Amino acid sequence: MSSHSSAQDLEHYVGGKLSTEDSSLVQTHLDGCEQCQHRLAEIALQVRWKDTERRNEPRVPVNFTGRLKLLDPVTSVGPPHDVKVIEISRNGLRVRTPRYLIPKSLIQIRFGGKGMLGEVRYCVKTESEYYAGIKQVQDFPSS
Ligand SMILES: [Zn+2]
Residues 49, 137: Cα–Cα separation, whole Å = 10
Distance 1 CA to ligand 1 centre (A): 8
Distance 38 CA to ligand 1 centre (A): 9
Residues 118 and 109 sit within 8 Å (Cβ to Cβ): yes
* Phi, psi (degrees; rounded to nearest 5) at 43: -65, -45
Residues 59, 104: Cα–Cα separation, whole Å = 22
Q: How confident is the model at residue 1 (pLDDT cuts 50, 70, 90)?
A: very low
Distance 86 CA to ligand 1 centre (A): 17
- DSSP-derived secondary structure for 120-134: EEEEEE-SSSEEEEE
pLDDT tens digits, 46-98: 765 555 555 566 678 899 999 999 987 776 667 899 999 999 877 789 999 99
Domain 7-136 CATH (choose: 3.40.50.970, 2.40.10.220, 3.40.50.300, 3.40.190.10): 2.40.10.220
Per the model's pLDDT, the better-predicted residue between 57 and 28 turns out to be 28
Distance 50 CA to ligand 1 centre (A): 24
Please tell me whether the overall predicted TM-score, pTM, comes out greater than 0.95 for this model: no
Query: pLDDT at residue 42 above 70?
Result: yes
CA pseudo-torsion sign 131, 34, 88, 49 = positive
* Phi, psi (degrees; rounded to nearest 5) at 85: -85, 120
Mean pLDDT of all residues in 16-41? 92
pLDDT tens digits, 101-128: 999 999 999 998 888 899 999 999 998 9
Look at residue 143 in the predicted model and tell me its pLDDT: 47
